[in-house]
Amino acid sequence: MPEYADYELTAQERKAKELEAEAALKAKVQGGYILESPAEMTPGYRKALVVQLTVQADTELMSAPAYWFAARHAPTANTQVSAHAIIQDELAHANIAYRLLEDLGESKEQLVYGREPHQFKHPYGFDQPLDNWAELVVANGFFDRAGITLLGDVHRNTSYGPLKRALVKVDMEETFHLRHGEVWMRRLVRSGRTASALLQRCVDWMFPMTVEWFGLPDHLKRHSGQLDYRLKGLTNDELRQVWMASTVPLCERLGLKVPAHYCERLDEYVLDYPFPCEYDPDAKQWLFAEGEISWNQVFERWKGRGPMNEIYVESIRRSRDTVASWFN
């Protein structure tokens, strides 16, 4: 509620006062200040945090059905246990982020059950089917590495105390998922030609998928509330580079071809294909030959969601009404 004195202010003066409060909070968090409660937040900070946490929660939640469908391809009882341990972790991570959103006055009920499938904010990669064991382990190696790159950065840099503490557990468990991916990629490569070819096929569609996941390049992103409010530390391009700096050498060690290389002159990883470009989800193929597209076209594709979007969302929600009816 505005203070009584605020009613004396003109709309213009009020706006100026709000901007001043936002600037003051930005300066404070840039100096290392950690917020502990929603009462300390400005509307701008709260909004940026809600967006960040919603993406985080939805991503964790939607990775669960994607991995769960794929876990049916686990080759042994032990691997079945490992795959389901990962799925259980992802659901718990989603729950942590939704729980933090509840502290900010959002409703977990509404977020999980009240939205249309296309309104979830997870990356396009988790709208895709994972059709065999190789695709699951490359998802662990690539997608979970993207997750740990993004969340590790939030963990080290966020100005929101409750999130910083919650991410200790999340980061450790994501490390296990990444290990699962790496160990299995190594095993499959060692096993021979059939598995190696399958693995290469996974890399071909999942590498560009993850590169795109990090979003708009810095030169096109004019403004980032998340950086201003110190909700994260690195820019999109920096995070993309961190991911490539561990993913490209891993693939090279395993003899897998990736469409990116390290450029010594620039001291960064450079993509060997038009970026961004169009994707054919049915063929699981990037249309490199058709050349570069605009980021607006990418956003359109993301907004349209991928082939498994509704199936994944419904797989999480399907029994709710049935069970609810037993209690009536």
Question: Applying CB under 8 A, which part among 96-104, 128-136, 141-149, 303-311 lies near other proteins?
Answer: 141-149
Residue position matching structure tokens 């933090």: 100
How many C-beta neighbours within 10 Å does residue 39 have? 6
Of residues 16 and 85, the one with the C-beta less far from other proteins: 85
Of residues 209 and 239, the one with the C-beta less far from other proteins: 239
* CB of 96 vs other proteins, minimal distance in Å: 15
How many C-beta neighbours within 10 Å does residue 297 have? 13
Of 14, 108, 179, 301, the one binding other proteins (CB under 8 A) is: 179
Token pair recorded at residue 303: 């907004």
What contacts 24, CB < 8 A, 6 or more positions away?
none
DSSP state for residue 119 in the 8-state scheme: G
Q: Between residue 251 and residue 290, which ones bind other proteins under the rule CB under 8 A? A: 266-269
Of 90, 127, 135, 182, the one binding other proteins (CB under 8 A) is: 182
How many C-beta neighbours within 10 Å does residue 23 have? 13
| Phi, psi values for residue 248, rounded to 5° | -60, -50
Query: One symbol per residue from 208 to 247: x for binding other proteins (CB under 8 A), - otherwise; what is it?
Result: ----------x--------------xxx-xx--xx--xx-
The rounded distance, in Å, linking the Cα atoms of 205 and 179 is 21
Of residues 226 and 285, the one with the C-beta less far from other proteins: 226
Of residues 78 and 296, the one with the C-beta less far from other proteins: 78
To 10 degrees, what angle do helices 43-71 and 309-317 make?
A: 90
Query: One symbol per residue from 58 to 87: x for binding other proteins (CB under 8 A), - otherwise; what is it?
Result: --------------------xx-xx--x--
Report if residue 175 touches other proteins, rule: CB under 8 A. yes
Residue 168 C-alpha from the chain's centroid = 17
* CB of 114 vs other proteins, minimal distance in Å: 34
Closest to 239 in 3D by CA, of 265, 210, 203, 209: 210
Burial string for 99-121 (b: 16+ CB within 10 Å, else e) reads ebbeeeebebeebbeeeebeebb
Report if residue 16 touches other proteins, rule: CB under 8 A. no
* CB of 241 vs other proteins, minimal distance in Å: 5
Instruction: Specify the long-range contacts of residues 299-302, CB closer than 8 Å, at least 24 apart.
Output: 301/124, 302/123, 302/124
- With contacts defined by CB under 8 A, how many residues of the chain interact with other proteins? 38
Report if residue 138 touches other proteins, rule: CB under 8 A. no
* CB of 311 vs other proteins, minimal distance in Å: 26
Residue position matching structure tokens 């095993």: 187
The rounded distance, in Å, linking the Cα atoms of 256 and 189 is 9
* CB of 174 vs other proteins, minimal distance in Å: 8
Q: Which residues bind other proteins (CB under 8 A)?
A: 78-79, 81-82, 85, 145, 148-149, 152-153, 156, 165, 168, 172-173, 175-176, 178-180, 182-183, 218, 233-235, 237-238, 241-242, 245-246, 249-250, 266-269
